[in-house]
Amino acid sequence: MSSALLLIDLQNSILTGLGTPDRQPAIDAALEAVVAKLAALKHSARAAGIPTFIVQHDGGPTHRLAKRSEGWQLRREIAPEAGDVVVHKTSCDSFFETDLEARLKGRGVTHLIVGGCMTQFCVDTTVRRAVSLGFDVSLIADGHTTADMGKLSFEDIVTHHNMLLDGFDAGPHEVKLVASTEISF
């Protein structure tokens, strides 16, 4: 099984302003913790010769991730290095109208180790689509986050999706939940 690390939407303004004034500090702290874990995994993957695919959302002109804006820029901690593949998307699904599937298959990748933002949108949709396209997925349990949504806290959303996605399958391919500390390349 050939693996790749897939990092989704780790951009400067991914969660900016999505929380209430009292909750935004917790949302920001959770994002910092996730970015640190994913940056460490990216470093380990690189040292082991495992490819990293970085997905970047291209928002419209008034979006917080407006293409080419400061908010759109990838976080410096996971900035692309030589050999990393950057894929641009305009929807929650990292495979929709992108060349991600072709680029993964072109490298013989059959297993994705996935983390990033936003849990209930881009992470969930991409993970489900990956399995339906024939990839096995390790979802990093502590490697994805989001903002509060309505009455749901980001912590509840992450917990819910970890339970919901663990074991999700399509034919012989499935999602397995794994802690960042359990991943070795």
Phi-psi category of 158—alpha, beta or left, where left has phi over 0 and alpha has psi -120 to 50?
Answer: alpha
For the chain, the domain total comes to 1
What residue has token string 């994913």? Answer: 38
- pLDDT band, residue 17 (cuts 50/70/90): very high
What pLDDT was estimated at residue 159? 98
Q: Check: CB of residue 52 under 8 Å from CB of residue 86.
A: no
Measure the CA–CA gap between 64 and 6, rounded to whole angstroms. Answer: 22
Nearest to 14 by CA among 76, 68, 73, 78: 73
Q: Is the pLDDT of residue 148 over 90?
A: yes
Nearest to 123 by CA among 71, 151, 158, 98: 158
**Tokens encoding 64:** 């917080």
Measure the CA–CA gap between 176 and 138, rounded to whole angstroms. Answer: 5
| DSSP run (H or E) holding 125 | helix 124-132
Measure the CA–CA gap between 147 and 23, rounded to whole angstroms. Answer: 9
Nearest to 106 by CA among 87, 121, 79: 87
- Report the CATH number at residue 104: 3.40.50.850
> What's the average model confidence in pLDDT over 136-157?
98
Range of the domain at 18: 3-182
What pLDDT was estimated at residue 44? 98
Q: Is the pLDDT of residue 1 over 80?
A: no
Write out pLDDT tens, residues 169-180: 999 999 999 999
Write out pLDDT tens, residues 89-113: 999 999 999 999 999 999 999 999 9
